[in-house]
Amino acid sequence: MRLKVVVANVSSESAVPQDTAITQWARAAMEGHENEVTEIDVRIVDEHEIAELNRRFRNKPEATNVLSFPFEDPPGVHTGLLGDVVICAPVVCREAQRQGKQVTAHWAHMLVHGIMHLRGYDHETPREAQTMEGMETSILTRLGFPNPYA
């Protein structure tokens, strides 16, 4: 079954990638796991929405670049939904500029990073960070983007 990527852009930011690019990046992040998952939802928001989500679910009352919300199937049910990735367009664009990165490359990185969290990876310890960052870099390299950690 082909991975379905549902994109909802409710941001007022103009520098948002096309849905086709977001879908391509999501599929690359799921390569090798396509049969396990049939859907990922991506929501592109402004700062007020992501700050509220960050406060509500992480007890951090500020805007952030990306949040991931894994979906857990009810017992005995398999929906194929991996979860939601919420990306804050203004924060991603500002970070790219501040860090001297190509905006599109930073968008791809934030989406891949969010999907890696949905897949169960984290970066709380140095070892976890090394694993997750290595996987992200490999995916982004295959997509033609530079190492975001270099």
Task: Establish if 128 belongs to a structural domain.
Answer: yes
Task: Establish if 148 belongs to a structural domain.
Answer: no
Residue 1 has pLDDT above 60, yes or no: no
The CATH number of the domain holding residue 51 is 3.40.390.30
Domain residue limits at 48: 4-142
Mean pLDDT of 40-49: 98
Q: How many domains does the chain have?
A: 1
Task: Establish if 150 belongs to a structural domain.
Answer: no
| pLDDT one-digit tens code per residue, 64-73 | 999 999 999 9
Task: Establish if 136 belongs to a structural domain.
Answer: yes
Task: Establish if 147 belongs to a structural domain.
Answer: no
Task: Establish if 54 belongs to a structural domain.
Answer: yes
Task: Establish if 92 belongs to a structural domain.
Answer: yes
Task: Establish if 48 belongs to a structural domain.
Answer: yes
Distance (Å, rounded) from C-alpha 40 to C-alpha 70? 10
How many angstroms separate the Cα of 63 from the Cα of each of 26, 47, 78, 88, 94?
A: 23, 5, 33, 8, 12
Residue type, 73: D
Confidence at residue 34, expressed as pLDDT on a 0 to 100 scale: 64
| pLDDT one-digit tens code per residue, 71-83 | 999 999 988 899 9
